Amino acid sequence: VSNAGVGMAGPLECQSLAAMQSLMDTNFFGLVRLVKEVLPDMKRRRGGHIVVISSIMGLQGIVFNDIYAASKFAVEGFCESLVVQALRFNVAISLVEPGPVTTEFEAKLYEEAERADYSRTDPETADIFTNIYLRNSKDVFASLGQTPEDIAEHTLRVIEAAKPPFRHQTNAAYTPMAALKHADPSGALLTAAFYQLLFRHSSVLRLGLR
167-169 vs 48-53, strand pairing mode:
unpaired
Residue 35 burial (CB count, 10 A): 19
Contact status, residue 110 vs residue 137, Cβ threshold 8 Å: yes
Buried b (16+ CB within 10 A) or exposed e, 119-148: eebeeebbebbbebbbebbeebbeeebbee
Alpha helices (H) along 7-48 = 17-24, 30-45
| Whole-number Cα distances in Å, 79 to 6, 24, 87, 92 | 19, 15, 12, 10
For 41, counting Cβ atoms within 10 Å of its Cβ (0-12 exposed, 13-18 middle, 19+ buried), the class is exposed
68 is catalytic: yes
Q: According to DSSP H, which parts of 52-200 are helical? A: 66-88, 104-115, 123-127, 134-144, 148-160, 175-183, 188-195
Asked whether 197 and 137 are in contact (CB, 8 A), the reply is no
8 Å CB contact between 49 and 94:
yes
Tell me the catalytic residues: 68
